[in-house]
Amino acid sequence: MRNQPKYNFFKNTGYALNGLKDLIRTETSFKLELILTMILLPLIIFIEATFIHKALLFISLMGMLLAEATNSAIERVVDLVTLEHHHMAGRAKDVGSTIVFLSISVFVVTWAIVLADIYQ
């Protein structure tokens, strides 16, 4: 059985916010993607598009942040286990990078398709 404290919404929210603050403080890629999100989020709100189009734009934008956070978590766990070069550690980090690459690809393709459909 895991040594896990009883669930507490406020404590867990605090842990999540601590993680977000740490990402913003230490991860340049996350900061850049967060700035892009802050720029594009108002665009989603004010653009004349259907709810489905707006949802697709929002989901693809948030997916990019989720992927970057996941990649950072993978990198930190790998670094915790070993700082020495090990081919399996490198493969794990490469997969994390692939998650980010795929999310950015989905973001770009989704935005291109939706905006092309709106402004045809």
Among all residues, which ones are annotated catalytic? 68
d(CA 37, CA 46) in angstroms, rounded, equals 14
d(CA 40, CA 120) in angstroms, rounded, equals 20
How far apart, in Å, are the Cα atoms of 7 and each of 3, 10, 50?
12, 9, 38
